[in-house]
């Protein structure tokens, strides 16, 4: 039975009431028939979402056996009871473990001079009684006796901050509601710093909790709605870092962790367009900044010099090589860079400035700085993966440059990397730009005139890079003869800062046309069957899915749009909504800029639905999503059904979760099996 048959048998989909609202801006009228769906408290809204879920279940009911088989395949490749590689800090080695049948990790530690294990936090215990659970952060105090952690039980990303004793878990010192990401300790372990959000979900305040007095005090507040506030510490724990950042500008304030009651001191004045991060080293600070190079460089300044004009270049920069991150040790510094849509690591001896690159065994692969907590260490922990090589954790001897493999994620069953191949394909965009595509498939798959069923994934926003890395889950697709590929479209960060700038603001349409041109390149080069291509993306990548559905509906057999940002013009015009003003530097400000308004209106998926037959479409939403409000995908599904020919659309809303979807590894695998069943059925592979 085909997916077409399943839609036919499912009966009539839910049809929402039309209550047209006229939205006027720059004397331009837009009619929104489903604007009323924004009322989350309305029983009519909840009933509609539940009806949508019921309809989705009716469509997919004949695929439940396939979904169950896919779930078993996914689960059977995973070593369910497993340990992470321990990370040394102070007197302890810290690690996490998973146990068969349990949804969440258990965080533990072992004293370096003892064999006994001590549990820090069992997420499974914390999750009891909740349909959703997410850990937003976990931090052990400098005296090694206390733990602070953030928990979310509804997907709203508003967390409960709990501080308790490690040796006496029942002794809770404090519990604070509606906190955001970030935890920082004073050196004496008496003060905990945390962040709070405003009504638009913008983190804008830093608070200090005095554990001895049980009092909280506001330490810092950022009133400019275009800036987010974050909190952290330097690697040596000597400074608490207050990071104030927009999409294009950074300002950092420092608090001496040994004098936590002193006010924050600015590291440098705020300069529009200046971005940077800092790390303390002896009596200096290393700065990763775009001051002299849009792809960022490494600078250094003496402690106490609060002027960016005094920063001195430490390394020569190379055009097109994006400096991402540094890891500072007493005698060495590790540098993570991005070049030609892959990452690389370099090590510099701070005594001699001699440098070397950490070797990689595959061209299309990813290498990252791992967890490194000890400043005086002579060992760098790093991770490596490719689309055919599972996540591998290494220790690098910084003196000799030799690497030791500590652990490679075990893939159970008959998996062998030699049965697969990964490579790079380049697409010619319509303006002549070369777009990289990372591809993985079975080693017996070769390009031919017919091509092969393909799943193409894309994102292309916020300078976020989709790196070529391993996933045992997608073996269920690849083993069935599918080609899987990442389209590294403009708007992402895969090819440096210029790549990002060429896919944002007024150049945002490049993201969408690049994806379409990547699809055509895979067809032209014999990798993809033009009649069996699926596309997938989430959040801003969901906007990408909506745009390509409007622009090239005949090119795709199926589209999966997860928590898609599809009503983007209406949202970005409304500063009262969460995160909107912060987003103006990414998309432009259509409130005051008519050119941006016109560009956004030209690509906004909700505004541009056309009367043709669209691909099979699976759309997801989260009722508690603070990033992409549930009503965007819900309204879009209704408009698609109303305006397109033979609509074949299902909407699945997580009624107790947010932007990241369901929590717990088994629920995540079930969710992925559901998506895979939809794709395989649409491409007629099952």
> Which residues form the catalytic set?
539, 625, 659
Distance (Å, whole) CA 256 – CA 191: 12
Q: What strands, in cross-sheet order, belong to the sheet with 322-328?
A: 322-328, 332-339, 342-349, 355-357
CA distances (Å), origin 136, targets 155, 164, 174, 194, 298: 11, 16, 17, 12, 30
3-state secondary structure of 656: coil
Distance (Å, whole) CA 445 – CA 527: 9
Q: Tell me the backbone φ, ψ of residue 467, rounded to 5 degrees.
A: -85, 145
Distance (Å, whole) CA 46 – CA 33: 17
Token pair 């609202």 in the structure block, residue: 21
Distance (Å, whole) CA 253 – CA 241: 6
The Cβ of residue 409 has, within 10 Å, a number of other Cβ atoms equal to 15
Counting every residue written for the chain, the total comes to 686
Q: Are 40 and 623 in contact (CB under 8 A)?
A: yes
Distance (Å, whole) CA 177 – CA 163: 12
Q: Are 633 and 650 in contact (CB under 8 A)?
A: no
Q: Are 182 and 192 in contact (CB under 8 A)?
A: no
Question: Whose CA is closest to 622, among 150, 70, 132?
Answer: 132
645 by Cβ neighbours in 10 Å (0-12 / 13-18 / 19+) ranks as: exposed
State the first-to-last Cα distance of the chain, in angstroms, to the nearest integer.
Answer: 9
User: 360-397 burial by CB neighbour count: b if 16+ within 10 A, else e?
Assistant: bebebbbbbbbbbebbebebbbbbbbbbbbbbbbbbbe
């Amino acid at each position: 039975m085909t997916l077409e048959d399943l839609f036919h048998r499912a009966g009539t989909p839910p049809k929402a009431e039309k209550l047209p609202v006229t939205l006027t801006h720059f004397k331009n009228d837009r009619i929104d028939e489903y604007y009323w769906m924004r009322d989350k408290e309305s029983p009519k809204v909840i009933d509609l979402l539940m009806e949508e879920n019921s309809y989705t279940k009716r469509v997919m009911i004949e695929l439940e056996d396939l979904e169950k088989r896919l779930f078993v395949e996914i689960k059977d490749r995973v070593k369910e009871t497993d340990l992470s590689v321990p990370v040394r800090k102070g007197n302890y080695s810290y690690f996490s473990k998973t146990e068969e049948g349990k949804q969440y990790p258990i965080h533990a530690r072992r004293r370096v001079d003892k064999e006994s294990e001590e549990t820090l936090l069992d997420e499974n215990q914390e999750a009891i009684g909740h349909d959703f659970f997410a850990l937003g952060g976990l931090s052990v105090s400098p005296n090694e006796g206390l733990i602070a952690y953030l928990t979310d039980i509804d997907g709203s990303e508003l967390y409960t901050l709990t501080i308790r004793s490690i040796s006496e878990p029942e002794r809770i010192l404090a519990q604070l509601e509606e906190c955001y990401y970030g935890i920082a300790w004073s050196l004496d372990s008496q003060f905990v710093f945390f962040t709070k959000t405003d009504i638009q979900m913008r983190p804008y305040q830093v608070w200090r909790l005095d554990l001895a007095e049980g009092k909280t005090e506001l330490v810092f507040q950022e009133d400019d709605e275009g800036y987010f506030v974050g909190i952290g510490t330097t690697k040596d724990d000597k400074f608490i870092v207050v990071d104030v950042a927009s999409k294009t500008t950074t300002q950092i304030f420092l608090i001496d962790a040994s004098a936590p009651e002193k006010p924050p001191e600015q590291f440098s004045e705020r300069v529009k367009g200046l971005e940077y991060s800092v790390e303390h080293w002896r009596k200096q600070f290393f700065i990763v900044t775009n001051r002299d190079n849009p792809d960022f460089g490494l600078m250094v300044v003496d402690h106490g010099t609060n002027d960016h004009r005094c920063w001195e270049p430490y390394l020569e920069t190379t055009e097109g090589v994006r400096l991402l991150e540094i890891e500072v040790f007493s005698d060495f510094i590790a540098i993570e860079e991005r070049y030609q849509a892959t990452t690389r690591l370099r090590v510099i001896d701070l005594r001699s400035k001699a440098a070397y690159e950490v070797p990689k065994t595959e061209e299309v692969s990813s290498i990252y700085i791992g967890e490194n907590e000890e400043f005086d260490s002579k060992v760098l922990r790093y991770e490596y993966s490719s689309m055919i090589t599972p996540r591998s954790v290494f220790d690098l001897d910084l003196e000799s440059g030799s690497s030791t493999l500590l652990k490679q994620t075990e893939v159970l069953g008959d998996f062998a990397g030699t049965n697969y191949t990964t490579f790079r394909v380049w697409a010619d965009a319509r303006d002549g730009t070369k777009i990289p595509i990372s591809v993985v498939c079975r080693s017996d798959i070769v390009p031919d005139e017919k091509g092969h069923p393909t799943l193409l994934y894309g994102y292309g926003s916020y300078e976020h890079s989709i790196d070529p890395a391993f996933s045992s889950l997608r073996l269920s697709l690849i083993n069935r003869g599918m080609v899987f590929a990442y389209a590294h479209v403009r708007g992402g960060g895969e090819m440096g800062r210029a790549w990002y700038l060429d896919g944002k603001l007024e150049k945002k349409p490049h993201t969408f046309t690049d994806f379409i041109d990547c699809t055509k390149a895979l067809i032209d080069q014999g990798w993809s069957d033009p009649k069996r291509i699926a596309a997938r993306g989430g959040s801003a990548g969901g906007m990408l899915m909506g745009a390509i559905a409007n622009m090239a509906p005949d090119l795709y057999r199926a589209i999966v749009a997860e928590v898609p940002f599809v009503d983007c013009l209406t949202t970005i015009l409304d500063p009262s909504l969460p995160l909107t003003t912060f987003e103006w530097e990414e998309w432009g400000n259509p409130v005051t800029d008519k050119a941006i308004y016109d560009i956004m209106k030209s690509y906004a998926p909700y505004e541009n639905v056309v009367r043709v037959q669209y691909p099979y479409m699976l759309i997801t939403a989260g009722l508690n999503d603070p990033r992409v409000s549930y009503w965007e995908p819900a309204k879009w599904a209704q408009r698609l059904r109303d305006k397109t020919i033979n609509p074949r659309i299902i909407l699945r809303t997580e009624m107790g979760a947010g932007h990241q979807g369901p929590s717990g590894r088994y629920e995540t695998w079930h969710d992925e099996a559901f998506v895979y069943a939809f794709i395989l059925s649409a491409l007629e592979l099952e």
